[in-house]
Structure 1
């Protein structure tokens, strides 16, 4: 059962990565040339129990923090359910 669950998680990770790649590719293809856009980015890097939150603006940093918090909660729930 553990091997099957691990395989499913690996396949889900691969599928999510593939979907992300396709979204980036579609965005690059459909981009209008010469149009000036404001680009914002942010992210969360979790090293052990310490989250490092970064963003190009306060808004993106806050969104990244919320998404990171949600992912941590989901991870904790999954770990307790699978243990």
Structure 2
């Protein structure tokens, strides 16, 4: 019977380590994709050409009427970013979100995580 508890404990430990590594890997992939998208959008913005076909790098020239900080024909693109998250301290969640829908999604995730942690905790005592 001691061997079964030892194997269950080592298996649970292995699953925990694998879960942590997968989470770390997902964070690193997200950061890399974010950096790639940012560099791609910056390149496409700086490589635009003006109406006469001249490459405009938004540099100030001596015959330029616009100030240095003003970019010609700049289109404002507004994007709405919604964020939400859950911080679990044991089985107790701390929920945050930038809007109601994100907070609701985070609350559902928190409930699922609470139930999962309670199931794991209960199974370890049986």
Per the TM superposition, whether the score is higher than 0.5 is: yes
Cα shift at 1:50:
4.5
Structure 1 or 2, whichever has the larger Rg, is 2
CA distance in 2, matches of 1:78, 1:47: 15
2:113 matched to which residue of 1? 71
Q: Does 2:33 align with 1:26? A: yes
Q: 1:33-59 deviations in whole A, cap 9, x for unaligned?
A: 465421121222344564332211111
1:5 matched to which residue of 2? 12
Higher helix share: 1
Q: TM-score, normalised by structure 1?
A: 0.73
CA distance in 2, matches of 1:44, 1:53: 5
Q: Which runs of 5 or more structure 2 residues have no equivalent in the other structure? A: 1-6, 46-76
Cα shift at 1:21:
1.9
CA distance in 2, matches of 1:14, 1:66: 24
Q: TM-score, normalised by structure 2?
A: 0.53
Q: CA RMSD in A?
A: 2.4
Q: Does 2:96 align with 1:54? A: yes
Secondary structure class of the residue paired with 1:37: coil
How many residues align structurally?
83
Greater relative contact order: 1 or 2 (C-alpha under 8 angstroms, separation 6 or more)? 1
1:38 corresponds to which of 73, 76, 80? 80
1:17 corresponds to which of 21, 24, 27? 24
Q: Which runs of 5 or more structure 1 residues have no equivalent in the other structure? A: none
